[in-house]
Structure 1
């Protein structure tokens, strides 16, 4: 199958540079399989500092890809994250684009 064969199947395949910086792809991959994820859990699973996750989550929120909810558990403030529908679609399109790229590279010449 050639790359052009993939494009007819994968009309949503699109490179999205927002996923190519820092732990954004890892954060979104984590969130795509969940509803709301507590900030501390996301930070620990992504393996980044509070400030890095905060910065990248703000960038994703500004792009419309992430929803952030603040509240408290008892007297302790908490923050939860989840992908928006636009974020899920963008992640799916980016991953499809990466898969198509890999297939194109693996094609024998």
Structure 2
């Protein structure tokens, strides 16, 4: 069996990936909403998002709404595929079908 993706496997990053995977393809989640879902601090969430972005799993878009900055995050195609592979590997382990 292939190794589980260690970038995704970390608990907070796994929560981030699961939350983003629940969104339809191409949709973003606002940083503030994602922070509430994951239960992380601004700095902790930012650091984990940086790791996921470097790995190519997420895309981060920053803009302004009026004068207020806004950060939005979405899964990339690579991230969506990576998460699907990760979930399939976990299912194999749980079902006892992994080699």
Give the TM-score, by structure 2 length.
0.88
Q: Does 1:62 align with 2:62?
A: no
Q: Describe how 1:66-77 pairs up with structure 2 within 5 A.
A: 66-77=58-69
Following superposition, the deviation at residue 46 of structure 1 comes to 0.6
1:98 aligns with 90
1:1-60 C-alpha deviation (Å, 9 max, x unpaired): xxxxxx8xxxxx862111122400100100112210100000011111111110000000
Flag structure 1 segments of 5+ consecutive residues without an equivalent.
Answer: 1-6, 8-12
2:7 aligns with 18
Runs of 4+ in 1 over 6 A off after TM superposition: none
1:74-93 C-alpha deviation (Å, 9 max, x unpaired): 11001000000000000000
2:70 aligns with 78
Flag structure 2 segments of 5+ consecutive residues without an equivalent.
Answer: none
**Number of residues of Structure 1 aligned to a counterpart in Structure 2:** 94
Contact 1:22 1:56 (8 Å CA) reproduced:
no
Contact 1:14 1:96 (8 Å CA) reproduced:
no
Root-mean-square deviation (CA, aligned residues, Å) is 1.7
Q: Which has the higher contact order (CA 8 A, sep 6+)?
A: 1
